[in-house]
Amino acid sequence: MTMTTLEKIQTQISENPIILYMKGSPKLPSCGFSAQASQILSQCGAPFAYVDILQHPDIRAELPKFANWPTFPQLWVEGELVGGCDIMIEMFQSGELQALIKETASKYQTA
């Protein structure tokens, strides 16, 4: 049985406490906003999952409707949409993002 795109998105978000939907990958981002977002997340020092929406046109089409957020990248933490690049930058500058990422990562650390 194949999963619908919506089920795939919900599974990705529920199985990955920190996930970034972006264009490209953290090592090879395909747009400036995705590059900034993955760099900011990397600076928070916790592992995170990512989905390259350019490789998954179905997710690229469905996620904005699911999230009610029209643009990419999108950062999701513990099943909640945090936001896009601008919000991530603001939260990073205030220290809020580092705290959120650190707290989330510590909850999910495997021994």
Q: What are the sequence ranges of the domains in the chain?
A: 5-100
Q: Is 102 annotated as a binding residue?
A: no
> In this structure, are residues 19 and 76 in contact, taking their beta carbons and an 8 Å threshold?
yes
Cis peptide upstream of residue 47 (ω within 30 degrees of 0): no
pLDDT in tens, 95-105: 999 999 999 99
The C-alpha R_g of the chain, in whole angstroms, comes to: 13
Share of the chain above pLDDT 90, in %: 94
Q: Is 27 annotated as a binding residue?
A: no
Q: Is 58 annotated as a binding residue?
A: no
The predicted pLDDT at position 67 comes to 95
The predicted pLDDT at position 3 comes to 81
The predicted pLDDT at position 22 comes to 98
The predicted pLDDT at position 111 comes to 46
Q: Is 85 annotated as a binding residue?
A: yes
Separation of alpha carbons 37 and 39, rounded Å: 5
Show the tokens assigned to 87: 């919000």
pLDDT in tens, 78-89: 999 999 999 999
pLDDT at 17 over 90: yes
- Structurally, what CATH architecture does the domain formed by 5-100 represent? 3-Layer(aba) Sandwich (3.40)
Q: Is 107 annotated as a binding residue?
A: no
